[in-house]
Amino acid sequence: MPDEPAAPKPKSNFIRDIIDRHLASGRFDRVRTRFPPEPNGFLHIGHAKSLHLNFGLARDYGGLCNLRMDDTNPETEDQSYVDAIKEDVRWLGFDWEDREYYASDYYERLYEWAVALIKKGDAYVCDLTADQVREYRGTVTKPGTPSPYRDRSVAENLDLFARMRAGEFPDGSKTLRAKIDMASPNMLMRDPLMYRIRRERHYRRGDAWCLYPTYDWAHGQSDSIEGITHSICTLEFEVHRPLYDWFLDRLGVHHPQQIEFARLNLGHTVISKRRLLELVESGLVSGWDDPRMPTISGFRRRGYSPESIAAFCEKIGVAKDNSIVDLPLLEMCAREHLNRTSPRAMAVLRPLKVVITNYPADRVEEFDAVNNPEDPSAGTRKVPFSRELWIERDDFMEAPPPKFYRLSPGREVRLRYAYFIRCDEAVRDASGEVVELRCTYDPATRGGDNPPDGRKVKATLHWVSARHALDAEVRLYDTLFTVRDPLDVPEGADWKAALNPGSLETVRDAKIEPLLASAAPESRWQFERLGYFVADRRDARPGAPVFNRTVTLRDEWARLVKAGRDAA
Ligand code: ATP
Ligand code: MG
């Protein structure tokens, strides 16, 4: 059983302040929020922020949070996205119980409300083309020009609107528009569209409708229908708020309070579904759940836990100004949780053979290894040791620079849990590459303990017994983009140009300890000295394990930045 997502003490923020005021003044007597994704792509880490906010507020105020698909655009939406969204929301630990709603279920109600607005003289059928609508709308500095159809009679509007629904007119030939103010400084108030004619099959409604509501018309009313008290959305909807308020006031229906907060941006990646879709469709990543993607399903395959995503969302908090959060913060949250919960194991990514010349060829010993030093209840396991071992190629240097304390000719090191070994000789192949180290062990250091003579070593290496090792594929990742803000490119330039060609490195002949043969899909491990890894949930096969590195053990980046600073 995974832990419930951490529910740390609620930090106060401006949204909670507003809710507190509403509860105190009696404007609302309960808290009802919703998470309203459009099923046109997979959820990303920005959505996790919104989920934590909306479900978190409901939890903390004893209210409820709905899940609603804001599905008003038949061209881009699909059931497969609905399924993926639900799976991700569940995986993050949120339960919408029976409150699963669809804007597309409200089409009838929205239609009736549109008729009500027509009757009040607040909406009209317009015959301008899309280009003309744009032209007539004016600019920020120039007021718009009223549509020649603006003053159609209520009777004519009702007749035309009914016939639009009945399918009498071709796509794009007519729209329904709200009659607001063509001179408003807010461009969105200049008679915005409410309905378009579009003969497009909807993934849920099929061909029932040829008339589709705009997002602006559907969104606020959907919140109202559900009795939402606080409609929390991202900052770009601040300018839409007067429009949403206008609709609700004219209809005289339940009026939620919209509150805007800054969307999450993450460094060295992009998190907009449109861009992520472009990466998927162009084959630049293996899919929405590619472990390099900032999607929830990508993070899941990468090995991030729901708990670490929760901790991350809590840390970044909510604010009113847009900014970019850097990956090391997320990685820190991941390390913090994985350190406490991941069993340790030994694996060698770039194997170099070690032969212990004074160890009998047929002997096998088993040493006790600690499963998790942070969690004594995790116990110990047996790790087999024999004459031939694999160690990490990087752990040997023929001519070591100062401060390299690992293996080199004549140098002694500790093999974790096993023995001290000394390197006597490096064997080369014809090309001069070191292919084997010949070493001797000291029986007085059994279990990796210091010998009675008090000799010490400065390095402890991980290793795997060659005869017991299994081969594994291990995937190592770097950031998806080489720059912090990939979208910061000159007009017309391709934002995908800064994709990191080295974002995925596949190691095919890693050696892992036998225990890992039975690693369950999605089980998370710490490979000693190498980082946190997860057994890939898609590609691992019995006898052919595949592990993805979630994060390294230390913040290498911060270390390098610091090293650069110290050197300067
Ligand atoms: P995108 O631009 O990625 O398509 P969106 O806002 O169009 O995002 P929706 O599916 O409409 O995506 O979003 C569902 C909810 O998640 C909305 O309430 C939206 O405000 C919120 N949300 C989307 N992106 C972010 C983000 N980066 N940070 C915080 N909340 C977000
Ligand atoms: Mg959207």
Contact between 343 and 371 (Cβ < 8 Å)? yes
**pLDDT band for position 8 (cuts 50, 70, 90):** low
Give the CATH number, domain containing residue 163. Answer: 3.40.50.620
- What confidence score (pLDDT) does residue 542 get? 82
Residues 145 and 30 in one domain: yes
Label residue 350 exposed, middle or buried (CB < 10 Å: 0-12, 13-18, 19+): middle
- pLDDT tens figures, 124-159: 999 999 999 999 999 999 999 999 999 999 999 999
- Structure token digits, residue 31: 């808290």
Among 227, 261, 295, residue at a domain's last position = 261
Q: Strand, helix or coil at 548? A: strand
Q: Is residue 58 part of a domain?
A: yes
Do 207 and 172 share a structural domain?
A: yes
Kindly report the protein residue whose alpha carbon is nearest to atom 27 of ligand 1.
46
Domain end position, chosen among 439, 462, 485: 462
Burial class (CB in 10 A: 0-12, 13-18, 19+), 388: middle
Same domain membership, residue 351 and residue 325:
no
Residues 6+ apart with CB under 8 A from 4: 93
Q: Which helix (H) or strand (E) holds 25?
A: helix 14-25
Identify whether 525 is part of a domain. Answer: yes
Mean pLDDT of the chain: 95
Cα(47) to ligand 1 centroid in Å equals 6
Structure tokens at 305: 């836990």
Does residue 365 form part of some domain? yes
Residues spanned by the domain of 333: 273-343+472-567
Q: What is the pLDDT of residue 557?
A: 54
Are 539 and 563 found together in one domain? yes
Quick one: 233 and 159 in the same domain?
A: yes
Atom of ligand 1 nearest to the CA of 237: 20
- Report CA(486)–ligand 1 centroid distance (Å): 19
Read off the pLDDT of residues 274-287 as tens digits, 9 standing for 90 and up. Answer: 999 999 999 999 99
* Dihedral of the alpha carbons of 148, 154, 157, 161, in degrees to the nearest 10: 150
Q: What are phi and psi of 96, to 5 degrees?
A: -90, 5
Residue 277 domain-assigned?
yes
For the chain, the domain total comes to: 3
Question: What pLDDT is attached to residue 12?
Answer: 86
State the closest ligand 1 atom to the C-alpha of 54, by its place in the atom list counted from 1: 18
Q: How far, in Å, is the centroid of ligand 2 from the Cα of 394?
A: 47
Name the residue at shortest CA distance from atom 4 of ligand 1: 273
**Atom 3 of ligand 1 has which residue's CA nearest to it?**
272
Distance CA 354, CA 61 (A): 61
Q: What band does 450 get if pLDDT is binned at 50, 70 and 90? A: very high
**Residue 442 to residues 398, 403, 408, 468, Cα–Cα distance (Å):** 22, 24, 17, 22
Tens of pLDDT, residue by residue over 296-313, are: 999 999 999 999 999 999
Could you tell me if 352 and 338 lie in one domain? no
Name every protein residue with a CB atom under 6 angstroms from any ligand 1 atom: 36-38, 46-47, 49-50, 70, 233-234, 263-264, 271-273
Instruction: Say if 266 falls within a structural domain.
Output: no
The stretch 464-472 carries a mean pLDDT of 97
For the segment 520-543, the average pLDDT, to the nearest whole number, is: 95
pLDDT tens digit sequence for 316-350: 999 999 889 999 999 999 999 999 999 999 999 99
Same domain, yes or no, for 279 and 374? no
Ligand at shortest distance from the CA of 215: 2
Ligand 1 site-directed mutation target among 34, 47, 240, most atoms within 8 Å of CB: 47
Ligand closest to Cα of 44 equals 1
**How far is the centre of ligand 1, averaged over its atoms, from the C-alpha of 10 (Å)?**
22
Residue to mutate (ligand 1; options 40, 44, 49, 50; most atoms within 8 A of CB): 50
Query: What average pLDDT does this structure show over 535-561?
Result: 85
Closest-approaching ligand to the CA atom of 271: 1
6 pLDDT higher than 90: no
Is residue 116 in some structural domain? yes
411-444 pLDDT, tens per residue?
A: 999 999 999 999 999 999 999 999 999 999 999 9
CA distance 383 to 371: 11
Structure tokens at 499: 């994709």
pLDDT level of residue 102 (50, 70, 90 thresholds): very high
Identify which of 45, 234, 236 to mutate to test ligand 1's pocket (most ligand atoms within 8 A of the CB): 234
Which 3 state secondary structure label does DSSP give 297?
helix
- Among 15, 233, 263, 288, which is best to mutate for testing ligand 1, by the most ligand atoms less than 8 A from CB? 263
240 domain residue, yes or no: yes
Per the CB < 8 A criterion, the answer to whether 172 and 129 are in contact is yes
Considering the domain architecture, whether residues 153 and 214 belong to the same structural domain is answered as yes
Same domain? For 207 and 323 the reply is: no
Ligand having the closest approach to the CA of 84: 1
Q: Is the pLDDT confidence value at 234 over 80?
A: yes
Q: Is residue 374 one of the residues assigned to a domain?
A: yes
Q: Cα angle vertex 19, ends 14, 22, to 5°?
A: 130
User: Ligand 1 centre from 92 Cα, in Å?
Assistant: 16
Q: Which sequence positions are flagged as catalytic?
A: 38, 263, 273
**Whole-model pTM?**
0.94
334 and 437 both lie in a single domain:
no
Ligand 2 mean position, distance from CA 238 (Å): 14
Percent of the chain's residues with pLDDT above 90: 94
Q: Where residue 457 sits, what CATH number does that domain have? A: 2.40.240.10
Indicate whether 2 pLDDT > 60.
no
Mean pLDDT over 217-245 rounds to: 98
Taking a C-beta distance cutoff of 8 angstroms, is the pair 414, 459 a contact? yes
The three-class DSSP label of residue 92 is: helix
Ligand 1 atom with the smallest distance to the CA of 43 is 10
Q: Are residues 457 and 505 in the same domain?
A: no
Mean predicted confidence (pLDDT) in 394-407 = 96
On whether both 223 and 315 belong to a single domain, the answer is no
176, β-bridge pairs: 125, 195
- The closest alpha carbon to 180, from 129, 221, 120, belongs to 120
Given 261, 289, 309, the domain boundary residue is 261
Banded pLDDT at 543 (limits 50, 70, 90)? confident
Distance (Å) from CA 41 to ligand 2 centroid: 10
C-alpha closest to that of 369 among 390, 346, 395: 346
Evaluate the CA torsion angle 357, 430, 404, 509 in order and state its sign. negative
Q: What percent of the chain has pLDDT over 70?
A: 96
114 pLDDT more than 60? yes
